[in-house]
Amino acid sequence: MTLRQAQDDLASARLLIVGPQGSGKGTQGIRVAEALNIPVVSTGDIFRANIKEGTELGQKVTAILDAGDLVPDELTSEIVRDRLSQDDAQGGFLLDGYPRNTAQVHHLDAFLGEHDASLDAVILLDVPRAESIARLSLRAVEQGRSDDTDEAIAHRLDIYEHETAPIISVYEERGIVDRIDGVGSLDEITARISAALAARGIAQLV
């Protein structure tokens, strides 16, 4: 492979990071995206920014986020479609928090298919439920996120297990899942992700 090809491959990394709430996917996603110079597309961040700014979308989704429920698929998928159509996402992107169920996988497949594209790798951060709950409870104290109440945390983890975990088998069948042990220091986990992506020829991050 020539350097030029390697750069082209690098520039077109289309990634998804997935894991239960509290798995550290937000933090790791930012690290990976910065190293690859691609934008993070986080549906949770998009919703929270809209709530903060009091937009029409924000007003529509406030109660849903507070309860820890999922925003309707059509609405979420339309937002992701718009975001991925922007210029800065043409050279690749890292999705965080979308797709979150199989219906959203189909929406994403349809969108990427229209652009002759597909995901290059799915980074799955493996963290035991007890560890996720401990980390989320700590974040509730530190950041005061309104959906980090005990009830909403348990509800979100249930939704993850029932609705989001099944998408992993869909991507496993496509051979693009890298299962990463999400317990350890931030640097250790980033190094594991880096090694997995490097093995796919995507990039050595650190």
The response to whether 27 counts as a known ligand-binding position is yes
Which of 64, 140, 165, 168 is close enough to bind ligand AMP by CB under 6 A? 64
Reference 86, options 49, 50, 41, 56; nearest CA is: 41
| 155 close to 69: Cβ distance less than 8 angstroms | yes
Q: Is 25 a catalytic residue?
A: yes
Which of 21, 23, 50, 194 is close enough to bind ligand AMP by CB under 6 A? 21
For position 156 contacting ligand AMP by CB under 6 A, the verdict is yes
The response to whether 97 counts as a known ligand-binding position is yes
The response to whether 43 counts as a known ligand-binding position is yes
User: 89 or 200, CB closer to ligand AMP?
Assistant: 89
Distance CA 190, CA 176 (A): 18
| 17 close to 96: Cβ distance less than 8 angstroms | yes
Which of 38, 71, 121, 123 is close enough to bind ligand AMP by CB under 6 A? 71
Applying the rule CB under 6 A, the residues between 111 and 150 that interact with ligand AMP are: 147
| 171 close to 122: Cβ distance less than 8 angstroms | yes
- Crossing angle between the packed helical segments 73-84 and 102-114, to the nearest 10 degrees: 30
What are 122's strand-pairing partners?
16, 177
Q: Which of 60, 81, 145, 179 is catalytic?
A: 145
For position 68 contacting ligand AMP by CB under 6 A, the verdict is yes
DSSP string, 126-149: E--HHHHHHHHHHHHHHH--TT-S
Which of 16, 31, 38, 47 is close enough to bind ligand AMP by CB under 6 A? 47
User: 145 or 179, CB closer to ligand AMP?
Assistant: 145
Handedness of CA 10, 13, 19, 23 (dihedral sign): positive
- Nearest distance from residue 68's CB to ligand AMP, in Å? 5
- Nearest distance from residue 69's CB to ligand AMP, in Å? 6
The neighbour count for residue 56, using CB atoms within 10 Å, is 8
For position 97 contacting ligand AMP by CB under 6 A, the verdict is yes
Distance CA 26, CA 42 (A): 8
Show binding-site residues.
Answer: 22-27, 43, 48, 69-71, 97-100, 104, 139, 145, 156, 184
Which residues participate in catalysis according to the annotation?
25, 100, 139, 145, 156
Residues near ligand AMP (CB under 6 A) are 21, 43-44, 47, 64-65, 68-71, 76, 97-98, 100, 104, 147, 156
